[in-house]
Amino acid sequence: MCRVWLGGRLLSIRVQFFALDLYCHISVLDPLKDNGSAIQEVPREKVNFSEELLSSTSFARQLVDQMTLAKAYVILAKEQGNLQLAWELSSQIRNCQRLLSEGAVNGRAITKDEAHPIISRLARLIYKAQDSHYDISTTIVTLKNHALALEERAKAAIVQSAEFGQLAAESFPKNLHCLTVKLTEEWLRNPKHRSHSEENRNSTRLVDNNLYHFCIFSDNVLATSVVVNSTVSNANHPQQLVFHVVTDRIHFGAMSTWFLINDFKGCTVEVRCIDEFSWLNASSSPLVRQLSEAETQGYYYSAGSKNPERETKFHNPKFVSLLNHLRFYIPQILPNLEKVVFLDDDVVVQKDLTQLFSIELHGNVIGAVETCLESFHRYSKYLNFSHPTISSKIDPHTCGWAFGMNIFDLIAWRKANATSLYHYWQEQNSDLLLWRTGILPAGLLTFYGLVEPLDRRWHVLGLGYDVDIDDRLIESAAVVHYNGNMKPWLKLAIRRYKYIWERYVNISHPYVRECMLQ
């Protein structure tokens, strides 16, 4: 949209100069009065048409100049109700465009014989427009008004585009809803699923620290399936993997059914409902308490209360989703485990991740890939350092890091009491003055000084917004992350990266096949 605005401003400035030139020297534009003009006919041979348009002695350049001025008079004529003149000008503009298009396609210069009739008719019509009192001052004022109007429309379009893009990103696609419904129906229809689910909860594998444990918190069945499927597909010993999946009450039946009726190469998948965690309440969690307050609900959930001057993305309800914040409660969710890898539901695993468990964290709580190759990925980008609570405790030049694929040492976590640190910072930010919203700023503060940098190849970001990621970097990545609005399960996904995600979708399952046609 910025290009539209800039193009409009440049067009209006250019038209003003051409209008002034025509007004002062209109006689040189009429090729009927060719008294030894410097313009020479170019032989019919292959030429650089871009250079033709820039040459002050070419007929192509003269056509473009005449056409630009004629377009301005079309606007003026329409505003004055002179539709006949506007139609005549538009007709010649189309002839001009047709001739220029032919020249560009064929790679040849426009000849005098070709340009003469069009330039002649345009010149007469421009004289006619001037006789109708469309003088230069009127032209300039009118075009200025149009430029300002175009600027306002461009601003409105940018805001609207952001709104629509955010709505699309937050929406739950019809095919995913279809899959959830079918799986929930099967869960309710078949009591065996419920009994098997209860049996699996008692498996000793869930607390065996000799196995490799992963946790995923999501309400998206298909996305969670892709994470699990891609992880086990690239593991050397998938039967040694254990996944701890937590979802909400609405999706619990569907999520449980999916992992009961599908085999993932012998790995163990536990599905739990967030409502089971009685300790996650308003008295223990600042976020739960804040979510019960009318101001917080209005900020994130009430469209009418949003300030149009603020960016839509900062009002995204997912940022205060309890499922999204469960990553700060992993030791409480998995009290018997010592190490666990956390995976977001918008990642795809491409390498064996069990090697992460042998990485030495040197007493730190979290292993993460740093993102400060460029300055804007440092702490100063995410936090309000004008606030004394931040500036007195945190170094703004500290390197940022990525959530989405992280190894956690839960022993070190409990020793550092990191969950209490998270609660402290959530309390301090109750007025949204330390950071505007989101999960990452809370993580940067919670684990400040407790992060072990990982090799960049463990976690490559940007597949949900960056169209120019190096293919070699993607191929070498252990995990690729579709962070951003363009999730791979949405229609607005970046097509170049979508195949990576789709290769792990179980398209052979009848529910998936049927719902994908929705």
Q: Where are the beta strands (DSSP E) in 318-404?
A: 339-343, 347-349, 366-369
Residue 462 CB burial class (10 angstroms; 0-12, 13-18, ≥19): buried
Q: Please give the helix or strand (H or E) that residue 99 lies within, else none.
A: helix 83-106
Residue 232 CB burial class (10 angstroms; 0-12, 13-18, ≥19): buried
Helix, strand and coil content of the chain, in percent to the nearest 5, comes to: 60, 10, 35
Q: Reduce the DSSP state of residue 33 to 3 states and report it.
A: coil
Please list the ranges in the chain whose pLDDT falls under 50: 1-42, 299-301, 304-317
- Phi first, then psi: give them for residue 368, nearest 5 degrees: -150, 155
Sign of CA dihedral 328, 332, 338, 344: negative
Closest CA to 23 of 173, 159, 134: 134
**pLDDT value for 52:** 73
- Using H for helix, E for strand and C for coil, what is the string for 227-271? HHHHHHHCCCCHHHEEEEEEECHHHHHHHHHHHHHCCCCCCEEEE
For the chain, how many residues are written?
518
Give CA angle at 510 (506, 511), nearest 5°. Answer: 85
Closest CA to 395 of 432, 342, 449, 469: 449
**pLDDT value for 159:** 63
Question: What is the end-to-end Cα distance of the chain in Å, rounded?
Answer: 32
Give CA angle at 217 (215, 221), nearest 5°. Answer: 110
**pLDDT value for 83:** 85
Closest CA to 200 of 150, 276, 271, 278: 271
- Return the structure tokens found at 391: 């500036």
| Residue 425: half-sphere exposure toward Cβ, Cα within 13 Å | 25
Long-range contacts of 135-143 (CB under 8 A, 24+ apart): 135/23, 136/19, 136/20, 136/23, 138/76, 139/15, 139/16, 139/19, 139/72, 139/73, 139/76, 140/16, 140/19, 142/72, 142/75, 142/76, 142/79, 143/12, 143/15, 143/16, 143/72, 143/75
CATH value of 174-301+308-517 in 3.60.21.10, 3.90.550.10, 3.30.565.10, 3.20.20.60: 3.90.550.10
Strand partners, 395: none
> Strand 347-349 relative to strand 339-343: parallel, antiparallel, unpaired?
unpaired
Sign of CA dihedral 498, 377, 425, 479: positive
Give CA angle at 131 (125, 132), nearest 5°. Answer: 90
Q: How do residues 16-28 score in pLDDT, each as one tens digit?
A: 444 444 443 433 3
**pLDDT value for 399:** 95
Q: What span, in angstroms and rounded, lies between the C-alpha atoms of 327 and 322?
A: 9
Q: What span, in angstroms and rounded, lies between the C-alpha atoms of 199 and 192?
A: 10
Please report, for residues 260, 430, 437, the alpha-carbon distance to residue 312 in angstroms, rounded to integers and kept in the order given. 39, 19, 11
Please tell me the pTM assigned to this model: 0.68
**pLDDT value for 143:** 67
Sign of CA dihedral 197, 202, 203, 205: positive
Q: Please give the helix or strand (H or E) that residue 479 lies within, else none.
A: strand 479-481
Whether the CB-CB separation of 326 and 274 falls below 8 Å is answered with yes
Q: What span, in angstroms and rounded, lies between the C-alpha atoms of 210 and 191?
A: 33
Q: What span, in angstroms and rounded, lies between the C-alpha atoms of 409 and 356?
A: 11
